[in-house]
Structure 1
Amino acid sequence: MMAAGGWWLLLLGAAGLVSGVPPVRWLQVTEEPEIKTLLGLVEREYNSASGREDVYRALRVSDVRRQLVSGIRYDFTVFLGRTLCKKGDEKVLENCRLHDSASLTEIQCKYSMLVFPWANETKVLEQTCSQEDLMKESNEPSSDPSIKAEDEMLETLSLFKDFVTTYNKKYKDDEEALMRLQIFSQNLKKAKEIQEKDLGTAEYGVTKFSDLTEEEFRTLYLNPLLSSQPPRPMKMAAMLADPPPAQWDWREHGAVTEVKNQGMCGSCWAFSVTGNIEGQWFLKKGSLISLSEQELVDCDGVDKACGGGLPSNAYEAIEKLGGLESEQDYTYMGHKERCSFSGSKVSAYINSSVEIPKDETQIAAWLAQNGPVSIALNAFAMQFYRKGISHPFRILCNPWMIDHAVLLVGYGDRAGKPFWAIKNSWGKDWGEEGYYYLYRGTGACGMNTMCSSAVVD
């Protein structure tokens, strides 16, 4: 196990979280450089303040506790032994031979210190010393619950180090890095709670959003307009009499483009709609074209660009504009810019749009027959989703709080659990290669409340 201070420097320096902090090599527990540094300070302070002529040096340390606060707080007990050196001797303290009576005159000191590794600063918070008879010392291991807390902290630090390396996280200074570490720690607990309550086979844990608060995540990646504004009325799609096939996946039939990344912009509505139209165009015209979300972000005058939008509004905007340009011609920027749509560059158009019934059997039948479906859902469990079939408790993922638009591309069954296959727009480094698998048959997370599709004649 690595000392907490070593971990902290490793995170700031070697992981590149803060510029100007030199890389730190991997430290072994036997070296414990942070503890050695603290003991050196203890020796200097004790010998400087004591009225004794003899010099004392640290023999051992026990009951070390570490706590991450504004810095790293160390609480520990150190035992000092009398040496043959006298004050003023020009000798290295660790080379001073112990006095024959050192075991009988041992000094026990309890210290609390606050260390700021990034500033090379240490503050002594508390210090008390008393002479103890070694025969009274117990060699039994401590059963203090703080040991468990320390192990958890070190495990969190290890996970955080892997997190910043995996997702190439950069923070402006050590203060922000510490703040993100604290948020990361709280999010680990949230992910664990979601995991314990999930009814499916999903795995929740560290994702690229693990250093964001819930409010930050919602603001940057979700879409509040989905539940706060009513959708534009659309014609209801015809009910289908034939039952759907047992499983279907439009990825296997060439109707789905690669997973895209909306970035820190609440433009999921645009990605959901373009994904749907890409499938519709492929099925009607035989050509799969990656279409432009940026055109909608810039040119849809009803929706709010990165502030959110509704698929129903987007269909109408596309009809009025005259179609969508390709991704190649109108590249995604991740923020609103001046509308530069050109009718001469239209790669796909739509004629109308329809609302799809809320019955999941009808949704499956319509999807299998007509192509991927634009849907919206409650993204409660998605911040920490890693893989598997997600099935949160209904009360935690209620259907009337939908806040994210995605693309339904298929459905099936895994080991007896029915699922929907959902294409997300957070990049391939999220979920299962960019996909979310949600339990099918119960309207989980409101996935059946806002289903729609463009119509291409």
Structure 2
Amino acid sequence: MRKQIYLLILFHFYLYFAFSEQISFVKESKVPRNSSSATYKKWNDITKDNVGKGKKLFENGAKMGPTKFSNFSFSEFKELYLNDLQPSVKLLNHTRVIPVHQLRKLKILQKLDWRTYLNYSIISPVKDQKKCGGCWAFSTVETVESMVAKTTGSSPPSLSVQQVIDCSSNNEGCQGGDTCTALKWMVNTKTPLVSDIHYPLTDESNFCKIEPNKTKGVQVKNYKCYRHVSEDKVLQLLQTGPLVAAVDATTWYNYQGGIIQYHCDAFINHAVQIVGYDLTGEVPFYIVRNSWGNDFGHEGYIYIKIGANVCGIASEISTVSV
């Protein structure tokens, strides 16, 4: 009985804060305020529905509620943000649960964050793919930037994501692509990645403006793609640097913070960069960098529980060497 009362109090607090945030979200939004407007009615219905879904997911350990995506219907959000990853092979939904005590016995650091681990950060600023379905290009380029910084002992360069969107063969630009295919293109063609200043982001697909043999930039020497790996392997790979990862981001549009622990499957539809992890708390988690801007989640990052392939985080992992 005492536990039920405690949970009821917690739920009431959650409703209060969710309602407060919804009011704030409405004030900041640029949608019409006229309650008789059809546009406003549609937006209000969608927002209420999304907030309701967020409440249902509150028990997954993460805080869900109004976000910058709340004025999209789920079908609109899916079309804009979840259709851009096209794996070159079918990735199976697999879950191998690894107990926390077993993870902590691994001969690795108990906590690692490549943003702060060295005396400088090897992680570049969070990017925003906007309406371009180029997560596959963002996550691979971000990891190349990180490995350049780690190898040279300097700050990460700002490399051209647009170059990869436009030039990577066997990918579809802003209509989607595959991280392993992009890395294979970088290595096999020996195409140097130029700076973002030289080839700036336009957030739309275009023809390739680079001549590989006449361009200077960063060359990727090697890469490895691992599919359906165990998470102890993922943690071991993180000891050498950040990783490219394919994930299921279906439930992320309501994410405000905390650690996602449940209700996140392995139907791969997005690509991200894993920059670290933490095994010291009650719930171990990965530190995952997204490409939806720094106003998403924890200043552009999301935390995902380690040990049960939550969000399909171990479905496809890639390492990069420069």
Once residues 304 and 81 of structure 2 are traced to their aligned partners in structure 1, the CA distance between those partners, rounded to angstroms, is 19
SS of the residue 1:355 aligns to: strand
Match of 2:288 in 1: 422
Once residues 243 and 286 of structure 1 are traced to their aligned partners in structure 2, the CA distance between those partners, rounded to angstroms, is 25
- 1:241-280 → structure 2 map (5 Å cutoff): 243-252=107-116, 253=118, 254-280=121-147
Which of 164, 178, 182 lines up with 2:41 in the alignment?
A: 178
Residues 347-385 of structure 1 show CA distances to partners (whole Å, capped at 9, x for unaligned) of 3111221024712112112111x2100001111221111
Q: Give the partner amino acid of 1:339.
A: C
Which of 51, 67, 74 lines up with 1:214 in the alignment?
A: 74
- 1:65-84 → structure 2 map (5 Å cutoff): none
Match of 2:12 in 1: none
Which of 247, 256, 259 lines up with 1:389 in the alignment?
A: 259
Matched, 1:411 2:277: yes
Structure 1 residues 367, 195: CA separation in 2 closer, same or farther (over 3 Å shift)? Answer: same
Q: Return the offset for 1:438.
A: 0.4
Once residues 305 and 250 of structure 2 are traced to their aligned partners in structure 1, the CA distance between those partners, rounded to angstroms, is 14
> Is this contact kept in 2: 1:245–1:365, CA < 8 A?
no
Q: TM-score, normalised by structure 2?
A: 0.81
> Is this contact kept in 2: 1:376–1:403, CA < 8 A?
yes
Which of 352, 366, 386 lines up with 2:237 in the alignment?
A: 366
Q: Give the partner amino acid of 2:252.
A: M
Once residues 244 and 274 of structure 2 are traced to their aligned partners in structure 1, the CA distance between those partners, rounded to angstroms, is 6
Residues 235-278 of structure 1 show CA distances to partners (whole Å, capped at 9, x for unaligned) of xxxxxxx8221111100132100111000121111111011111
Once residues 221 and 266 of structure 1 are traced to their aligned partners in structure 2, the CA distance between those partners, rounded to angstroms, is 6
> Is this contact kept in 1: 2:82–2:250, CA < 8 A?
no
SS of the residue 1:203 aligns to: strand
Match of 1:58 in 2: none
Match of 1:163 in 2: 25
Once residues 223 and 284 of structure 1 are traced to their aligned partners in structure 2, the CA distance between those partners, rounded to angstroms, is 33
Matched, 1:339 2:208: yes
Once residues 163 and 342 of structure 1 are traced to their aligned partners in structure 2, the CA distance between those partners, rounded to angstroms, is 46
Q: TM-score, normalised by structure 1?
A: 0.58
Q: Which runs of 5 or more structure 1 residues have no equivalent in the other structure?
A: 1-151, 233-241
Match of 1:328 in 2: 197
Q: Return the offset for 1:224.
A: 5.3
Q: Give the partner amino acid of 2:68.
A: K
Once residues 280 and 380 of structure 1 are traced to their aligned partners in structure 2, the CA distance between those partners, rounded to angstroms, is 29
Once residues 295 and 231 of structure 1 are traced to their aligned partners in structure 2, the CA distance between those partners, rounded to angstroms, is 27
Root mean square deviation, CA, Å: 2.5
Which of 298, 302, 307 lines up with 1:441 in the alignment?
A: 307
Once residues 190 and 130 of structure 2 are traced to their aligned partners in structure 1, the CA distance between those partners, rounded to angstroms, is 25
Once residues 330 and 164 of structure 1 are traced to their aligned partners in structure 2, the CA distance between those partners, rounded to angstroms, is 37
Q: Return the offset for 1:345.
A: 4.9
Structure 1 residues 169, 299: CA separation in 2 closer, same or farther (over 3 Å shift)? Answer: farther
Residues 202-238 of structure 1 show CA distances to partners (whole Å, capped at 9, x for unaligned) of 11101100111111111111235445x4179xxxxxx
Q: Return the offset for 1:284.
A: 2.1
Residues 22-49 of structure 1 show CA distances to partners (whole Å, capped at 9, x for unaligned) of xxxxxxxxxxxxxxxxxxxxxxxxxxxx
Q: Give the partner amino acid of 2:291.
A: S
Once residues 327 and 224 of structure 1 are traced to their aligned partners in structure 2, the CA distance between those partners, rounded to angstroms, is 21
Which of 89, 113, 135 lines up with 1:230 in the alignment?
A: 89
Once residues 33 and 217 of structure 2 are traced to their aligned partners in structure 1, the CA distance between those partners, rounded to angstroms, is 42
Q: Return the offset for 1:189.
A: 0.9
> Is this contact kept in 1: 2:141–2:161, CA < 8 A?
yes
Structure 1 residues 421, 341: CA separation in 2 closer, same or farther (over 3 Å shift)? Answer: same
Q: Return the offset for 1:293.
A: 0.9
> Is this contact kept in 1: 2:110–2:280, CA < 8 A?
no
Match of 1:95 in 2: none
Q: Give the partner amino acid of 1:326.
A: S
Rg comparison, structure with higher value: 1
Structure 1 residues 263, 164: CA separation in 2 closer, same or farther (over 3 Å shift)? Answer: farther
Q: Give the partner amino acid of 1:230.
A: V
Matched, 1:189 2:52: yes
SS of the residue 1:353 aligns to: strand
SS of the residue 1:332 aligns to: coil
SS of the residue 2:295 aligns to: coil
Structure 1 residues 231, 374: CA separation in 2 closer, same or farther (over 3 Å shift)? Answer: farther
Residues 65-97 of structure 1 show CA distances to partners (whole Å, capped at 9, x for unaligned) of xxxxxxxxxxxxxxxxxxxxxxxxxxxxxxxxx
Residues 266-300 of structure 1 show CA distances to partners (whole Å, capped at 9, x for unaligned) of 11111110111111212223342121111111112
> Is this contact kept in 1: 2:278–2:286, CA < 8 A?
yes
Q: Which runs of 5 or more structure 2 residues have no equivalent in the other structure?
A: 1-14, 92-105
State the aligned residue count.
283
SS of the residue 2:253 aligns to: coil
Once residues 31 and 216 of structure 2 are traced to their aligned partners in structure 1, the CA distance between those partners, rounded to angstroms, is 39
SS of the residue 1:417 aligns to: coil
Point out the structure with the larger strand share: 1
Larger RCO, structure (CA 8 Å, separation 6 or more)? 2
Q: Return the offset for 1:330.
A: 1.3
User: Percent of counterpart pairs with the same letter?
Assistant: 31
SS of the residue 2:78 aligns to: helix
- 1:304-319 → structure 2 map (5 Å cutoff): 304-319=172-187
